[in-house]
Amino acid sequence: MKLALKIDVDTLRATREGAPNLVEILRRHDAGATFVFSVGPDLTGRAALRLLAQGGAADYGFGALFYGTLLPPPDIGRRAGEVMRRVRDAGFETGLHAWAPVRWQARAAAAAAAWTEAEMQRGVDRYAEVLGEPPGVHAAAGWQMSAHALRMTQRLAFDYASDGRGTHPHLPVWRGELIRCPQFPTTLPTLPELLAQHGVSIDNVAAHLLERTAEPPAAGHVFTLRAGLEGRRLAPVLEQLLVGWKAQGYRLVPVRTLRDAVEPLALPRCEVEFGTLPGRDGTVLLQGREFLADVDLARAA
C-alpha cells in the first residue's frame, strides 16, 4: 500500500518558505515525497485577478501579486537555488515543474511546437544548472499539456512524468500516437478542489480525503500538494492527512517508488484527453480508457 506525495513548488515564496517547512513536516512523519520545482521567472502578477477571485492572494504575498506586471519577475532558480539543493540533499526526489508556471498554464495547451520545445528546454537547462544534473521527472504546471509537450517528455529522456490526472500508471496515447514516457497521474483531488465543494471546510477536508483512500488501489495513489499552501496555511491539514494515511496502512513515498515497482514499457496504453474536474476551473489532461480496448484483435486479424 503506497501513497506517493508530489509537491508542486511554483513561486519564489513557496520555494523559500513552503518547501523547507514541508521538509520538516515530512521528516517528522517519516514520509518521502517528490518536489517538482519551477526554475525560471515568477510571473505570479499575471495571474493576480484569478488569485484574487479565488480568495488566495494572502498565500502569495502582496508584492508577488505584481511580479511580471508592475514589478520585474524574480528568477526563482537563481534566487532560491540553494533551497532546492537543500531539499535534494535532505533525501527527497526533485524534478521539473516548469520554467515559468503561470505562462505554461496560460499557453501550453494550445501553443505551437517551437514555443513548447523552447519552454521545456529552458526548464531542463536551468534545472541542470541549479542542481547539477538534468531532471528525471516532469510534472506539468496545472496539468496542462499538449501533443508537443508529451512528445518532449520522451525526447528529453525523462524517466517518467506526472503531467495529468487519472487512476493508474500508463503510457499515454494522444490521438493514436504512443508516447514512450510513462505517466504516473495524480489520482486524488487536491485540497483546494475539495474546499471548493459544498459542505467541505478546513475543519473536515482531511476527513473527506481520508474517506477516498480507505480502500487502496492496486497501483497506489498519487496526491499533489502545493508548497505555497500545504507548506504554510494548510500545514495542519497535511499533518492530519499524514497521520491518517499511516493509520490506514500506507507507506508515504516519492513518486519514483511507484515507477520503480513497474516495468514502464509494459504499462497499459491509455488514451489521454482534456476534461474538467469538480472544484477546478478549466480543463486538465485526463487519463482515458485503454487504447483499442474495444477492438476484437482476433477478429481484426
- Partnered with residue 301 across adjacent β-strands are none
Q: Does residue 289 have a pLDDT over 90?
A: yes
Higher pLDDT, 111 or 71: 111
Confidence label for 192 from pLDDT (cuts 50, 70 and 90) = very high
The pLDDT of residue 51 is: 64
CA distances, 82 to each of 6, 33, 144, 232, 270 (Å): 20, 19, 28, 20, 39
For the beta carbon of residue 34, count every other beta carbon within 10 angstroms: 27
pLDDT digits (tens, 9 = 90+) for 33-75: 999 999 999 988 877 666 655 556 667 776 777 787 888 899 9
Residues 254-279 have a mean pLDDT of: 97
The pLDDT of residue 301 is: 53
pLDDT above 90 covers a percentage of the chain that reads: 86
Q: Does residue 296 have a pLDDT over 70?
A: no
The pLDDT of residue 50 is: 67
CATH of segment(s) 2-40+75-300: 3.20.20.370
